[in-house]
Structure 1
Amino acid sequence: MPSEIPRLVDELVTHMRSGSAPAYRAAMKRLADTARAGGPESLTTAVEALAPLLPGLGGDFAMTAVLAGACVEWGASPMALVDVLPQRASEAMMLNEAVPDFWEKAARGRPLPEPVSASTHQLVRTLTRLTRWRRGLDKNTMTRVAMSWFDMEDWLKALITVMADASFRAAVPGDVKAELREHAAAVAHRSQRAAWVGALAAVLDDEPLIVIDPRTHWGYALTMSGVGDNGQLHILLADRLVGDPGQGLVAGNRPARSWVEAATSGNPYLGPDDPAIRCFRLFDGQGTYISPEGVPADIGLLHGTRVLVLHPPNGNYAMGAGRVFEHMTPALRLDRILESTETQHWLARLAPAVENDLMAD
């Protein structure tokens, strides 16, 4: 079955070059069906064959990236995409950010088209006119800018799929992740997928975490990976730390099993009848409130380590979902309970909690 994949990819390329959208879509389906029928080996072969094509694609043909992402979701290794897909998605967001400004300069007050393919030619024609009187702009660049208005979501959809894989995240260079966060922040107001990409690019893996309970003077050393947001972290912390105070754990009500399942491998959506209720409020070692709506990367470093300080909950803060990224496997390991001298070391360095955030109530 893998031997069929190169021929089907060549067929796909032929139809892209011909510009025939129906033939391209039919070739995509044949490739997808064949790769999926062949199992992980065929799927990985398909991803490896598609990866070199992605940097030069745009517009409707960006759906090729979605196919590569689908192959990963069906069981392929994503690693062939490490040096291609994050960079191409980052570029798409960067170009997408520039579209409204270029359109305003070129369109003389006309409304910006909706990002649907029926408007592609209008946007491309209008933006490429800028090359007539603006130095430094060429038609290829402006076409790529215009296409980003329509294809950005395809690049982001594919990237979200592969960034759920821990090995893939580990292989993406730090500077590329930083660019993803920067460009995602610039367009997140008009793209939920961009916001998700920014959050995935900020995910911490194999990250040491110190948790201090100032009421009992107990401390805990943990390691976290693949935690998508602080709401999920709240649930996992409660699952790891709430227990018998006689054993050095935190007194309180343990989280419901359904909450923990939603935060790990079950259906992530809890619904209005069974929301997760936080067991404590969290502040970092510098006294900053850590909102459940943020991400673990928001936890400030204290002497090079992320430190959380537990405070009692005020009221019932409810969370309707256990995790943001359904296919990203989280890990929060309680490595050990700190010795008393270690806890005192951290307690002496903690800044007082700054409780001036309404959400900290």
Structure 2
Amino acid sequence: MNRSARRDGTPDRGRGNPARSASDKRATDKRATDKRATGKKDAPGAGRSGGAPKKPHRGQANTAAVATNKRGKPKQAKPQRQQVEANPTISNAKPARHQYVQSAGPVKLAAGEGMRLQKVLAQAGVASRRAAEELIEQGRVEVDGHIVVEQGLRVDPENAVVRVDGVRVVVKKDLVHIALNKPRGWQSTMSDDLGRPCIGDIVSERVSAGQRLFHVGRLDADTEGLILLTNDGDLAHRLMHPSFEVPKTYLATVNGVVERGLGKTLKAGVELEDGPAKVDAFTLLDVNGKQSLVKVVLHEGRKHIVRRLLEAVGHPVKRLVRTDIGPVALGDGRPGTLRVIGPGEVGALYKAVGL
């Protein structure tokens, strides 16, 4: 009997054809090597002759086609991750919330326009031109929020915002800031229909020369001391607005001997007819017989607020003098005298109100 023949009479290809048998063996070995390298399994029917998968019987479920869970419901296929091609020039990181953006710096005016920065600083009284150049070189001067280190920058004095060491400098020539020591009995108005003396009489020469001045806030006729006069509308508005809380200091001579606990009471607040009021600071300076000298600091601007507060706690005011408005002090001038506020004080006022 021929060993290469099967029982049904067909020849045994594996044994009857040595060349074909060796070829199939090499193909099988290659598939096994590929499976070990990739970790994949052969598809159903792979390796058999013809390459077609074996069809299930009529009553047999096709488990390879549809996968079900324990309850018999088909499982939803998980979406495959999209493979992102690596690209070193593209970053998927989110940008930082605050990124540094290089600014172009202050507006540079052409030759012949505006004024050189060092000259502006010199005219504002900050320093001489040579000293102003050193301030610029040291990076202590900024224009419109940008630090300037180059010499000869031309700026517009009417619109530029110039600061030295963070303090704003008044560069407009027409801006006027005056501290007036208002005398007792004078009205805090620029004119008075009844002919009473007013602060407008003190600055009448400046007004007639063309300066448009107005007072910042008021003092009642019986109160003396510091009152500001200016034509700087933005500064005046903020100084008078209570939201900026610019402190004002008063020296008050009151009746009676002030007790030690009075300051604590005034800081906690006192109920007045138009609502509660309180002081920021209170200091007992002197006691002379049946009178006391106290210092009161507060930022409220209601009418007669200091007098009403002290009277409410049993110490009516005999004399009241305002000595400070923010960083500006009254000075040693006699009642009725004026003084021009220096650049440092004006800059401190701007800083106090956020300008």
Q: TM-score, normalised by structure 1?
A: 0.25
Determine which structure has the larger helix proportion and give its number: 1
Q: TM-score, normalised by structure 2?
A: 0.25
Which has the higher Rg, Structure 1 or Structure 2?
A: 2
